[in-house]
Structure 1
Amino acid sequence: MLHRLYAWCMAQADKRHSFWTIGAVSFAESSVFPIPPDVMLIPMSLARPDRAYVLAAWCTLTSVLGGMVGYAIGALLYDSVGQWLIALYGYADKVESFRHAYAEWGAWIILLKGLTPIPYKVVTITSGFAGYNLALFILFSVIARAGRFFLLAFLLHRFGPQARDIIERRLGLWVTLGAVVVIGGLIASAYLI
């Protein structure tokens, strides 16, 4: 099953709608969706290393746009949609302390959590709920998301063939490690927020 999913993601790199697919995942991940765009960015960049930077730029743009939707959910719809989403991800009891942390550490929260596997949607929704400056939110989101996606693109562009060989030989191991990182990010965020 993993090999079929991996092959599907690899095949998306040459499809006309590939940008829209990865863009939709990146957009949704910043506001409501639990799966990070890296799941598609890695295989698509391995299939077409020449497009790794373009894919990273597209993921950055769509992630920041999705983050703005998350911000709007927090600012305008927190009592209905925002609260439900935060509770769905298990952070309902942490939001108030997170909001207070924004007063002193808002920039660092956005930058650090935007680079890590900690769910970015929690940051975007809480930024809106906390009333964090929208222009600064967008600026720090661009820096954090571009840093994450372009670092990945650089590594995949630079070491693409070797990385592809290593990943394909031990796909189960890499998927397991990726799942551990994502789950670790969720657990860490539960204790760090």
Structure 2
Amino acid sequence: MLRGLYDWTLSLAARKSAEWWLAVIAFVESSVFLVPADVLYIPMALSRPVRAYRYALVATVASVLGGILGWYIGHYAYDTLARPVLEFYGKFDEFEHLRMTSGDGIILLMLVTSGLAHLPPIKVVTILSGVIGFPLGWFILSAIVARGARFLLLAWLLRRYGEPIRHFIEKRLGMIVGVAAAVLIALYLIFKYAF
């Protein structure tokens, strides 16, 4: 099922309506969809490099708006909407653990790491932010910074290096950003518990 969903998302890049689809995928990825917008964004930016930054802006705005929807789902419709989505993706137990152990500092850190590296998945963090009542203004600001940084970095890499960088992005960029996110988490924990 996941491979079919991935292939379908990738096929949208060739359509004339690809930019609209990018907005839709980025929007729903932030609250319920499993496939990241990168799957659509990367081939679009490679096929039309002059529009890479435009596509990054579309993906960022749509992703932040989708994140706001996720926040509202978590805050106002946890039992009726959020819990079934989390159970469907097998993330409910992870979510409950996060909910019981997270404060504002951890949420802010997770917003940055999930926005940059999908660690943990963005949909989990947006819903969790609403459930625990993380301030919506800070949520929006951090989502803009994290998601914008990710898509703008991808735009810059794709514009500068083109097709040769695609394999690197698809195979290794997530790992590199994930390591950077892990370092951020470790530094936060050291700072929190050592000082």
Please classify the TM superposition score into its range, dividing by the shorter chain length: 0.7 to 0.9
Distance 1:113 1:174, change over 3 A: closer
Whole-angstrom distance in 2 between the partners of 1:5 and 1:96: 31
Alpha-carbon offset, residue 113 of structure 1: 1.6
TM-score normalised by the chain length of structure 2 = 0.77
SS, match of residue 94 in structure 1:
helix
Cα separation, partners in 2 of 1:48 and 1:147, compared to 1, 3 Å: same
Distance (whole Å) between structure 2 residues aligned to residue 132 and residue 7 of structure 1:
34
Which residue of structure 1 lines up, in the alignment, with residue 192 of structure 2?
none
Deviations along 1:111-139, one digit per CA (max 9) or x if unpaired, are 11211133210010111011100000000
Q: 1:61 to 1:68 in 2, by over 3 A?
A: same
User: 2:12, 2:18 within 8 Å by CA — same for their partners in 1?
Assistant: no
How far does residue 108 in structure 1 lie from its aligned partner after superposition? Answer: 1.1
User: Which ranges in structure 1 are unaligned for 5 or more consecutive residues?
Assistant: 168-172, 189-193
Post-superposition offset of 1:7: 8.3
Q: Structure 1 vs Structure 2: percent identity of aligned residues?
A: 39
- Which runs of structure 2 are paired with 1:42-57 in the superposition (5 Å)? 42-57=42-57
Kept in 1: contact 2:74–2:131 (CA 8 A): yes
| 1:147 Cα deviation from its structure 2 partner | 0.9
Distance 1:67 1:20 in 2: 18
Superposed counterparts of 1:98-117, under 5 Å: 98-99=98-99, 100-117=101-118
Report the Cα distance in structure 2 between the residues aligned to 1:6 and 1:71, rounded to whole angstroms: 24
* C-alpha distance after superposition, 1:77-110 (max 9, x if no partner): 0011101111222221232331231344221111
Alpha-carbon distance change, 174 to 143 in structure 1, aligned in 2, over 3 angstroms = closer
Q: Which range moves more in the overlay, 105-114 or 91-100?
A: 91-100
2:94 corresponds to 1:91: no
Pair 1:81 & 2:84 matched: no
CA contact (8 A) 2:9 2:39 kept: no
Structure 2 distance, partners of 1:137, 1:7, is: 29
Aligned to 2:131: 129
Tell me how far apart the structure 2 counterparts of residues 127 and 9 of structure 1 sit (CA, whole Å): 31
Distance in 2 between the 1:77 and 1:10 partners? 33
Structure 1 Cα separation of the partners of residues 102 and 169 of structure 2: 35
- Which residue in 2 is equivalent to 1:141? 143
1:1-193 matches, within 5 Å, as: 8-12=11-15, 15=16, 17-99=17-99, 100-118=101-119, 119-163=121-165, 167=167, 177=171
Using structure 1 for the length normalisation, give the TM-score: 0.77
Equivalent pairs, count? 170
Match of 2:188 in 1: none
Whole-angstrom CA distance in 1 between matches of 2:67 and 2:9? 27
Partner of 1:170: none
User: Pairwise CA RMSD of aligned residues?
Assistant: 2.9
